[in-house]
């Protein structure tokens, strides 16, 4: 297991786009230490901020995270990255596979554009977790994003595929969703604002937008399948899916093929 240990709090935001286990495995100690990660004209390299210890394997641990570490695990294709501490924006951006775990909190846009793999945030996530960045086609796009704490506003904004599982989320969860599934213990006001398709499974929620209409209680095979697929990730969310649910259809302002399942 390769280890990067943070020497001290970074003086600027650092870009981890090029720091992946597969990249590091092909490099010598010196080459790895010279990888540019700075974002200002200081021109910081990996060795300036981290103690580097490589073993050529496909797992990487970042000891000592910081909220200034951007794009950790971005474009990860395989292998494992574990961050002990916090990370900044765009955790796992465009990730295609592998496992990414953060023991602390994540900044905004975690899992944006991620097409595969599993991202786990053990603390809180910022705004737009699983949401799309400026001018991007979609947010989460097939990966699994798990937030054990609280996610900010606009969770899964414009997500297109995949699963988001959170304990709590702020306002506008699932806004402008294209498709995909979000399961949340509780969310704030206006979940699903402007959603086209997709499924929100909510333990509780704030105010609903008036463009969602209740369509009654149903006993659908889909819900049993959803409960079963959630069971292996989070029994608590599976319980919500298995319990009595009210269904709302919306957002009527769009093509209205989305649905909110709220615990009755």
Binding mask 217-246 for another protein (x = CB under 8 A): ------------------------------
Judged by CB under 8 A, the residue of 2, 4, 6, 13 near another protein is 13
Subset of 133-192 contacting another protein (CB under 8 A): 133-135, 158, 172, 175-176, 190
Q: Which is nearer to another protein, 70 or 259 (CB)?
A: 70
Q: Which residues of 129-157 are buried (b: 16+ CB within 10 A; e: fewer)?
A: bbbbbeeeebbbbbbbbbbeebbbbbbbb
| Cα 114 to Cα 74: distance, rounded to the nearest angstrom | 8
Q: Which is nearer to another protein, 210 or 244 (CB)?
A: 210
| Least distance in angstroms from the C-beta of 170 to another protein | 13
| Least distance in angstroms from the C-beta of 60 to another protein | 23
The answer to the question of residue 18 lying near another protein (CB under 8 A) is: no
The answer to the question of residue 253 lying near another protein (CB under 8 A) is: yes
Q: Which stretch binds another protein (CB under 8 A): 7-15, 45-53, 114-122, 236-244?
A: 7-15
Q: Which is nearer to another protein, 136 or 233 (CB)?
A: 136
| Least distance in angstroms from the C-beta of 206 to another protein | 12
| Cα 216 to Cα 92: distance, rounded to the nearest angstrom | 38
| Least distance in angstroms from the C-beta of 132 to another protein | 8
Contact 100, 76 (CB under 8 A): yes
- Which residues, 6+ apart, have CB-to-CB distance to 54 below 8 Å? 2, 24, 25, 27, 29, 32
User: What dihedral do alpha carbons 44, 46, 49, 51 form, nearest 10°?
Assistant: -160
| Cα 45 to Cα 110: distance, rounded to the nearest angstrom | 24
Q: Which stretch binds another protein (CB under 8 A): 21-29, 34-42, 114-122, 197-205?
A: 34-42
The answer to the question of residue 34 lying near another protein (CB under 8 A) is: no
Q: Which is nearer to another protein, 93 or 167 (CB)?
A: 93
Closest CA to 161 of 146, 147, 182, 175: 182
Question: What radius of gyration do the chain's Cα atoms show?
Answer: 19
| Cα 237 to Cα 25: distance, rounded to the nearest angstrom | 38
Judged by CB under 8 A, the residue of 89, 118, 144, 150 near another protein is 89
Query: What one-character-per-residue DSSP string does 131-194 give?
Result: PPPTT-S-S-EEEEEEEEEEE-SSTTTT--EEEEEEEEE-TTTTTT--S-EEEEEE--SSTTTT
Please report how the helices 221-231 and 235-242 are oriented relative to each other, as an axis angle in degrees rounded to 10: 170
Judged by CB under 8 A, the residue of 6, 65, 66, 109 near another protein is 109
The answer to the question of residue 41 lying near another protein (CB under 8 A) is: yes
The answer to the question of residue 8 lying near another protein (CB under 8 A) is: no
List residues binding another protein (CB under 8 A): 11-13, 38-42, 68, 70, 89, 108-109, 133-135, 158, 172, 175-176, 190, 193-194, 209-211, 251-254, 256
């Amino acid at each position: 297991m390769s280890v990067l240990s943070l020497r001290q709090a970074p003086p600027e935001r650092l870009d981890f786009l090029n720091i992946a286990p597969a990249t590091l495995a092909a490099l010598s100690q010196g080459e790895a230490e010279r990888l540019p990660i700075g974002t200002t004209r200081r021109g910081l390299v990996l060795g300036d901020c981290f103690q580097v210890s490589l073993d050529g394997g496909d797992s990487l641990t970042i000891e000592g995270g910081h909220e200034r570490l951007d794009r950790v695990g971005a474009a990860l294709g395989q292998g494992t990255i574990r961050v002990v501490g916090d990370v900044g924006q765009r955790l796992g951006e465009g990730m295609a596979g592998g496992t990414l775990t953060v023991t602390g909190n994540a900044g905004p846009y975690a899992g944006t554009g991620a097409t595969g793999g599993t991202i786990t945030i053990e603390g809180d996530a910022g705004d737009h977790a699983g949401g799309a960045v400026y001018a991007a086609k979609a947010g989460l796009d097939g990966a699994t994003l798990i937030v054990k704490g609280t996610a900010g506003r606009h969770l899964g904004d414009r997500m297109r595929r995949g699963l988001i599982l959170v304990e709590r989320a702020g306002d506008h969860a699932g806004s402008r969703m294209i498709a995909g599934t979000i399961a949340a213990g509780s969310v704030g006001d206006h979940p699903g604002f402007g959603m086209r398709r997709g499924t929100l499974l909510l333990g509780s929620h704030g105010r609903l937008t008036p463009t969602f209409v209740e369509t009654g209680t149903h006993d659908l095979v889909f819900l049993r399948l959803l409960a079963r697929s959630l069971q292996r990730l989070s029994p608590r969310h599976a319980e919500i899916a298995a319990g009595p649910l009210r269904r709302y259809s919306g957002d009527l302002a769009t093509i209205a093929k989305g649905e909110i399942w709220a615990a009755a």
